[in-house]
């Protein structure tokens, strides 16, 4: 009887093993807030049987701390360009086996070996965009052509700034005629003092990130420093809004998909990345979040509604005025100290 019972238990255990294996089919994705279509995630699970465990962050710096401290918690991460450069340097991410990412063929060739990933081994472009000014045409009647408008006391308590030292300092440096990546102490100090004066003058209504787009839709400020995708989201909901990249130039950025070296499910990560590069899926994600797509076939599927939209598809002249951020890890303490001074002014 005992032997028979033991056999039955072993049989039940054997039968349960495939179910247990299936239950472990997951991919742990660490992405920005509001930066992927739920429909695309559902389709991935339906087609592959792999459950997506989605976790969110709001800044590259927050994400990097989490990946450093808990590298095996994530299978796919969505850092920005300069952060990809840093993660490569720190040995945090693994080379991608592109034989398992056939949909990479649809990525714009101009983005295949970018300066932040010069060998093109570690990242796959997901979205790209610019940083510019979102403004309410009923509150701002003058032409918006320069970053200088963000420092005009005419707009006291009427400007939202991004809660990010890189973006705020970067556009201020461009306004002053300097590179966004300068390390010249005099240039950095000049930009810092201008941001401090902006804060002291009461021009800044708030430093924030994801809240800005909805607050601009609601007409809570005249001007905002924003990423282009957030601008398009807001414009779609409020036709009084418009977006511009000022004449002095700005930041152009790419957010990529990478696989941490310590990922628990690297094969599932490759399947996820390849799925996101499929043109129909890239189209779904682009139309959900309205950032610029690096997927040439997805752009064809979207047609004129994308191609003729300067917020989503800036002209080459606009792109030529912009620059990528470079990694400042060895300089980060100086940046953090400046940001503390600015926000506490």
Q: What is the pLDDT of residues 35-51, one digit of tens each?
A: 999 999 999 999 999 99
CA distance linking residue 184 with residue 195, whole number of Å: 17
For residues 123 and 257, the answer to whether their CB atoms sit within 8 Å is yes
CA distance linking residue 158 with residue 206, whole number of Å: 9
Report which of 130, 325, 138 is spatially closest to residue 231, judged by C-alpha positions: 130
In a domain, 210, yes or no: yes
Contacts 24+ apart (CB under 8 A), 339-344: 339/165, 339/168, 339/169, 341/192, 341/196, 342/165, 342/168, 342/192, 342/195, 342/196, 342/199, 343/199, 343/207
In a domain, 336, yes or no: no
For residues 30 and 272, the answer to whether their CB atoms sit within 8 Å is no
pLDDT for 24: 62
Q: How many domains is the chain partitioned into structurally?
A: 2
Residues 6+ away with beta carbon under 8 Å from 163: 59, 207, 208, 209
Q: CA-based Rg of the chain, rounded to a whole angstrom? A: 23
Residues 6+ away with beta carbon under 8 Å from 283: 293, 295, 298, 301, 302
User: Do 222 and 266 belong to one domain?
Assistant: no
Q: What is the 3-state secondary structure (H, E, C) of 206-217?
A: EEECCHHHHHHH
User: Do 169 and 309 belong to one domain?
Assistant: no
Residues 6+ away with beta carbon under 8 Å from 304: none
Report which of 212, 263, 264, 198 is spatially closest to residue 241, judged by C-alpha positions: 212
With a cut of 50, list the residues of the chain below it in pLDDT.
Answer: 1-23
In a domain, 12, yes or no: no
Three-state secondary-structure class, residue 88: helix
Domain end call among 251, 270, 298: 251
User: Do 268 and 185 belong to one domain?
Assistant: no
User: Do 278 and 293 belong to one domain?
Assistant: yes
In a domain, 76, yes or no: yes
In a domain, 7, yes or no: no
**119, β-bridge pairs:** none
Q: Render pLDDT for 289-324 as a digit per residue (tens, 0 to 9).
A: 989 999 999 999 999 999 999 999 999 999 999 999
Contacts 24+ apart (CB under 8 A), 209-213: 209/33, 209/58, 209/59, 209/162, 209/163, 209/164, 210/33, 210/34, 210/58, 212/134, 212/160, 212/162, 213/134
User: Do 139 and 196 belong to one domain?
Assistant: yes
CA distance linking residue 214 with residue 9, whole number of Å: 57
In a domain, 169, yes or no: yes
Domain end call among 198, 228, 251: 251
In a domain, 313, yes or no: yes
User: Do 118 and 178 belong to one domain?
Assistant: no
Report which of 59, 220, 227 is spatially closest to residue 134, judged by C-alpha positions: 227
pLDDT for 65: 94
pLDDT for 329: 83
Half-sphere exposure of 101 (CA within 13 A, CB side): 26
User: Do 230 and 258 belong to one domain?
Assistant: no
Residue 53, both tokens: 């465990």
User: Do 113 and 139 belong to one domain?
Assistant: no
Residue 102, both tokens: 């056939």
Domain end call among 235, 251, 267: 251
User: Do 100 and 166 belong to one domain?
Assistant: no
CATH number at residue 268: 3.40.190.10
In a domain, 170, yes or no: yes
Structural domain containing residue 146: 129-251
User: Do 240 and 183 belong to one domain?
Assistant: yes
First to last CA, the chain: 81
User: Do 246 and 293 belong to one domain?
Assistant: no
User: Do 312 and 230 belong to one domain?
Assistant: no
């Amino acid at each position: 009887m005992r032997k028979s019972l033991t056999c039955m238990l072993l049989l039940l255990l054997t039968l349960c093993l495939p179910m247990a294996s299936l239950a472990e089919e997951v991919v742990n994705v660490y992405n920005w807030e509001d930066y992927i279509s739920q429909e695309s995630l559902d389709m991935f699970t339906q087609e592959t049987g792999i459950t997506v465990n989605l976790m969110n962050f709001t800044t590259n710096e927050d994400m990097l701390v989490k990946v450093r401290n808990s590298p095996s918690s994530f299978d796919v991460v969505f850092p920005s360009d300069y952060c990809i450069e840093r993660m490569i340097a720190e040995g945090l991410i693994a080379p991608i086996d592109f034989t398992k990412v056939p949909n990479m063929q649809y990525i714009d060739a101009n983005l295949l070996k970018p300066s932040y990933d010069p060998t093109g081994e570690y990242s796959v472009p997901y979205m790209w965009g610019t940083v510019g000014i979102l403004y309410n045409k009923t509150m701002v009647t003058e032409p918006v052509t320069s970053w200088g408008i963000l420092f005009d006391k005419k707009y006291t308590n009427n400007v939202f700034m991004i809660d990010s030292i890189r973006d705020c300092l970067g556009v201020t440096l461009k306004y002053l005629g300097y590179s966004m990546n300068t390390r010249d102490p005099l240039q950095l100090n000049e930009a810092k003092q201008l941001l401090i004066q902006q804060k002291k003058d009461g021009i800044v209504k708030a430093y924030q990130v994801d809240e800005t787009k909805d607050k601009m839709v609601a007409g809570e400020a005249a001007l905002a420093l924003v990423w282009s995708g957030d601008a398009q989201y807001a414009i779609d909901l409020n036709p009084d809004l418009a977006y511009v990249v000022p004449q002095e130039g700005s930041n152009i950025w790419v957010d990529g998909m990478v696989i941490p070296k310590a990922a628990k499910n690297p094969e599932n990560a490759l399947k996820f990345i390849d799925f996101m590069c499929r043109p129909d899926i890239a189209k779904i994600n682009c139309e959900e979040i309205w950032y610029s797509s690096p997927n040439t076939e997805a752009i064809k599927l979207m047609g004129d509604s994308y191609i003729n939209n300067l917020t989503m598809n800036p002209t080459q002249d606009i792109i030529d005025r912009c620059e990528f951020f470079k990694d400042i890890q060895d300089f980060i303490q100086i940046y953090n100290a400046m940001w503390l001074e600015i926000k506490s002014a």
